[in-house]
């Protein structure tokens, strides 16, 4: 089984629905855990306000690159 599945919308057969499989969700969770570990490493030893500022800057960069919500 792959990471994604493509299904036909039962209400509109012209439309396709792309979603993660169970394996895809598992892989995404592993990637998120790795990102969380990296952020923890990057913010270790920093004052709380500096850590928060760094986390906010990384979120902003992600948004500017088209990879997240604003």
pLDDT tens digits for range 16-67: 999 999 999 999 999 999 988 998 898 899 999 999 998 899 889 989 998 7
pLDDT in the model for residue 53:
93
Confidence of residue 69 (pLDDT cuts 50, 70, 90): low
- For residues 16 and 8, give the distance between their C-alpha atoms in angstroms, rounded to a whole number: 5
Does the global pTM surpass 0.85? no
pLDDT in the model for residue 55:
85
- For residues 3 and 25, give the distance between their C-alpha atoms in angstroms, rounded to a whole number: 8
- For residues 16 and 63, give the distance between their C-alpha atoms in angstroms, rounded to a whole number: 26
pLDDT in the model for residue 70:
54
Q: Spell out where 9-70 has E strands.
A: 16-20
In the block, residue with structure tokens 């209400």:
11
């Amino acid at each position: 089984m792959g990471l994604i599945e493509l299904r036909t919308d039962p209400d509109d057969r012209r439309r396709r629905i792309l979603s993660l499989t169970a394996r895809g969700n598992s892989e995404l969770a592993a990637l998120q855990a790795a990102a969380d570990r990296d952020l923890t490493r990057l913010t270790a030893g920093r004052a709380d306000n500096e850590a928060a500022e760094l986390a906010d800057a990384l979120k902003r960069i992600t948004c500017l690159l088209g990879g997240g919500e604003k």
